[in-house]
Amino acid sequence: MIIYVDVNAQHDGNGSKNLPFRKINEAAKIAKPGDEVLVAPGTYREYVNPINAGTEEERIVYKSEKPLGAIITGAEKLTDWGKFKGDVWVSKVKNSIFGEYNPYTTLVYGDWYFATPSKHTGCVWLNDEALYEVHSIDDCLEGKVYECSWDPENSKRKWYAEQDANTDETIFYANFGGADPNKENVEITVRRECFMPSKERIGYITVSGFNINKAATTWAPPAAYQDGMISPHWSRGWIIEDCDIWGSKCAGICVGRYYDPQNSNFYTTKHVKSPTQMERDSVCRGQYYGWIKGKIGGHIIRRNNIHHCEQGGIIGRMGGVFSIIEDNHIHHINNMMELGGAEIAGIKMHAAIDVIMRRNHIHHCTMGIWCDWEAQGTRITQNLLHDNQRPEFAKQLEGGMTCQDIFVEVSHGPTLIDNNILLSDVSLRIATQGVAMVHNLCAGSFTFVGDGTSWRYTPYHMPHRTEVMGFMTILHGDDRIYNNIFIQKWSDKELVLLNDSRPEDKYTENRKVGTYCFDEYPTYEEWIPQFDLEEEYPNMRKHEDSHFAHLPVWIDGNAYFEGATGFKKEKNAFTDNSGKVYVDVVEKDGSYFIDTNIYDVMKGFEVDMISTETLGEAFEPSQKFENTDGTPITFDNDYLGGHRGTTIIPGPFAAAEDADKKIYGKLSIE
C-alpha cells in the first residue's frame, strides 16, 4: 500500500492519494511491512517516530517524491526580533514549545567529552548557517572571531540564550553580522531528533531522498544511549540513501548502542569506574541486549551528502556491525570547533565488526574515519580522503581532537585498509595492532606507532560474529604494509599539540612520512625463535616477557618519494628524493582528479600480487584478512575497480594511465 503525505494539502486526510496526511509521523503510525510512504515536497517540522518494523522480505519505505524535495527539520522559525543594541537583536519563545527536552538548558556533555561543557544542544540559524554560541550578551555585542573556528569570518555571528523563570521563556540574543533577522530566514533548533524510532528493534526501514537537517542531538559516547538526527535505534536492516543530512549539533546518522539504565554515562555521573571499564561492560552486556549477528546491524548507508555536523557524520557503538557505508560525501564535520571529545570524526564507529566503508569522499573533517575498539573484519577501501587537518590559522581547541585521515585505536584486527587515496598530513594514527595497509597512496605520516593505548584491555570476537572470544591489551605490531606509495607532501617538522584530555600536557606528533617508524619492530623470522618451538615442554615463565612484547611486522613492495623513508628491513622498495615529485587533488566542476607525476618517476618498478594468503591471520583473534563472508581476497581490483593483471605496481591504481581518470564525481543529489 502507498501512504501519501503532503504538508501543503489544504487539510489533514487519511493517507490516500486524494486525502494525504499532512505529517509524515501520521503515516509512520500506521505503515506496515510492504508499505511505501510517499512524501510530497515541502518542509516538515516534526519528529518522525516509526512505530512498526518492516521485514527482510517486505521493507517499509519512506520516500521523498522529489529528490530532496521533502525536508524534515528539527528547527522552527523564530520571528518578531527586536533591536537590542548595536548589531544584537532579541527575541523569546515559550518553553512549552520544547516539551520535556529544552535544548537551551541541555549541555553537550557526557563520557569522553574533553572540552569545557559550556555549549548547549540547541542552535540559532541564519539562512541555514549556524551561529556560534557565546556565554554573555557582551560576547554577542563584541562579535569577535572565534580563534578555533575553521571558518573565522562566519564565527563573528553569535547567539546567547538565557532563561526567564518568571515567564518560563527562553530569551535569545543574536548578532547576525549586520543582517536584519526580520528580513531573513532565522530558525532555532527545537527537536532532539528528526527521524528515529523511540523504541528499539524497529528494523527493515528504508529512508530515501530526504533533506534532513537541524536537530538538537546529544553527545553520543560509546557507553551511553546514542541518538542521531536520523537513526535505526538498535535495530537491523535499515537503508538510508540519497539523503542530504546536515546541521546536527552532534551526530548526523547514529547507528549506536542500546539504552542501558545501569550503564549510561556511568563515569560522568558516578566517577568511580573507569570509562574504559564501562565500555568493556557495554560489550559484554550487549549480549543480553541482543547483540547477535542477524538481529542487530546489517544497515546500508549509501549515496548521502553528510555535512556540517559538529560531532560526527556517522556515529555509533555496536549497532552498526555488519553494515555497508558506501558512496557517501562526508565533509565539513566539527569545523565550528565548539565541541571537543573522543567521539568526533566524519565516521566514528566502535566495534565496526565486518563493516565495509567504500568509495566515500571524506574531507575537511577533524578526522576522516575513526575505528575505535573491535575493528575486526573492518574493511576501508576505495575511499578518497583529503584536507582532514586543522588549518594553520586555527588555534587548537582545548579538549579537541587531533587530525588525520584514518585513526584505528585499541583493536586487535584484522583491519584492512586498501586502495585508498589519503592526502592529509596524517594518513593513519595507528594506536592499535593487526592492520593491513595495501595499495594505498599516503601523503601523510603514521602517528602513535607503539603508543597511545596505555594499559587498556579490549575485546576480540569469534570471527565474523559478535560473541566475545577474549580480552587483551595492545602489544602493537602485527601489521602488514604492502605495495603502498608514500610521499612527503607536507612539512616533516614535528607538530606540538595539546593532549586532548589533559590540555596542559603537550606532546609532539610525527609528520615524517614512511614506514621507518617500525624499524625497531621484529620481522616474523626474528620474532618466532624466542618461543622455542622445538621444545616439547616449553617454559611458560621464560616466555612471559615475550607474550607482552611487540608483535612482528611485514613490510614490502612500497615506494617512497620526497623524503618519505622506508622500513630498514624492507627488501623490495623504490625510493626517489629528486625533489621533483608531486601529488595533489584537483576539483573541476564538482569532479575530483589526482595531479601527480609519481607514476612517471616510478616507471619500471613492479611488486607482487597480494592476497589473503599473503597477509595471514591477525594474532589475537586468529582471523584472516578476508571478505566478510569468510572467502579470500586477491587484491586485483584497484581504486577505480579496474583489474590488476600481470604487471603490478604500488599504489591505488592498476596502471599509470588510470591516475589521470576522475577519482570522484558529484552525487546525483548534489
- Give Cβ neighbours of residue 137 (< 8 Å, ≥ 6 apart): 84, 88, 160, 173
Q: Check residue 558 and give its pLDDT.
A: 98
Query: Residue 540: which pLDDT band, with cuts at 50, 70 and 90?
Result: confident
- Residue 293 is placed in which grid cell? 549477528
Contact 146, 393 (CB under 8 A): no
For strands 384-386 and 421-422, give the pairing. Answer: parallel
Residue 550 vs residues 415, 476, 523: alpha-carbon distances, Å: 18, 5, 10
Ranges 233-247, 280-294, 418-432, 563-577: which has the least confidence: 280-294
- Cα separation, 93 vs 168, in Å, equals 9
Buried b (16+ CB within 10 A) or exposed e, 378-407: bbbbbbbbbbbbbeeebebbbbbbbbbbbb
- Tell me the mean pLDDT in the region 551-575: 98
- Cα separation, 416 vs 227, in Å, equals 28
Q: Check residue 500 and give its pLDDT.
A: 78
Q: Which amino acid is at 126?
A: L
- Residue 322 is placed in which grid cell? 555488519
Query: Residue 244: which pLDDT band, with cuts at 50, 70 and 90?
Result: very high
Query: Residue 334: which pLDDT band, with cuts at 50, 70 and 90?
Result: very high
Contact 231, 261 (CB under 8 A): no
pLDDT in tens, 202-228: 999 999 999 999 999 999 999 999 999
- Is the confidence at residue 184, as pLDDT, over 80? yes
Spatial CA neighbour of 639 closest among 668, 602, 664, 665: 664
Spatial CA neighbour of 228 closest among 319, 332, 116: 319
Query: Residue 402: which pLDDT band, with cuts at 50, 70 and 90?
Result: very high
Q: Check residue 498 and give its pLDDT.
A: 83
- Give Cβ neighbours of residue 347 (< 8 Å, ≥ 6 apart): 312, 313, 314, 325, 330, 357, 360, 362, 368, 369, 370
Q: Chain-wide mean pLDDT for the chain?
A: 96
- Cα separation, 331 vs 339, in Å, equals 16
Q: Check residue 497 and give its pLDDT.
A: 86
Q: What is the CA radius of gyration of the chain?
A: 25
pLDDT in tens, 346-399: 999 999 999 999 999 999 999 999 999 999 999 999 999 999 999 999 999 999
Q: Check residue 53 and give its pLDDT.
A: 98
Query: Residue 504: which pLDDT band, with cuts at 50, 70 and 90?
Result: confident
Q: Which residue has the cell 542477524?
A: 294
- Is the confidence at residue 455, as pLDDT, over 90? no
- Tell me the mean pLDDT in the region 596-625: 97
For strands 479-482 and 435-438, give the pairing. Answer: parallel
Q: Check residue 505 and give its pLDDT.
A: 83
Cis peptide before 41 (omega within 30 of 0): no
Query: Residue 400: which pLDDT band, with cuts at 50, 70 and 90?
Result: very high
Q: Check residue 506 and give its pLDDT.
A: 85
Percent of the chain with pLDDT over 90: 94
- Is the confidence at residue 563, as pLDDT, over 90? yes
- Tell me the mean pLDDT in the region 105-117: 95
DSSP per-residue string spanning 377-437: SEEEES-EEE--S--TTSPPPTTPPP-EEEEEES--S-EEEES-EE-SSEEEEEESB-EEE
φ/ψ (deg, to 5) at 281: -55, -45
Residue 385 vs residues 85, 426, 481: alpha-carbon distances, Å: 44, 11, 19
What DSSP element (H or E) covers 224?
Answer: none
- Is the confidence at residue 501, as pLDDT, over 80? no
- Is the confidence at residue 61, as pLDDT, over 90? yes
**DSSP 8-class letter at 643:** B
- Tell me the mean pLDDT in the region 513-532: 96
pLDDT in tens, 580-595: 999 999 999 999 999 9
Contact 231, 297 (CB under 8 A): no
- Cα separation, 460 vs 602, in Å, equals 40
∠ CA(486), CA(489), CA(495), 5° rounding?
A: 105
Contact 333, 368 (CB under 8 A): no
**DSSP 8-class letter at 288:** H
Q: Check residue 658 and give its pLDDT.
A: 95
CA 113 remoteness from chain centre: 16
Contact 364, 329 (CB under 8 A): no
Q: Which amino acid is at 466?
A: T
Domain boundaries, the chain: 75-189
Q: Check residue 502 and give its pLDDT.
A: 80
Q: Check residue 59 and give its pLDDT.
A: 98
- Tell me the mean pLDDT in the region 109-132: 97
- Cα separation, 321 vs 377, in Å, equals 10
Contact 299, 320 (CB under 8 A): yes
> CATH number of 75-189: 2.60.40.10, 2.60.40.1180, 3.40.50.170, 3.90.1150.10?
2.60.40.1180
- Residue 424 is placed in which grid cell? 592529509
* Size of the chain, expressed as the number of residues it contains: 670
Q: Check residue 362 and give its pLDDT.
A: 98
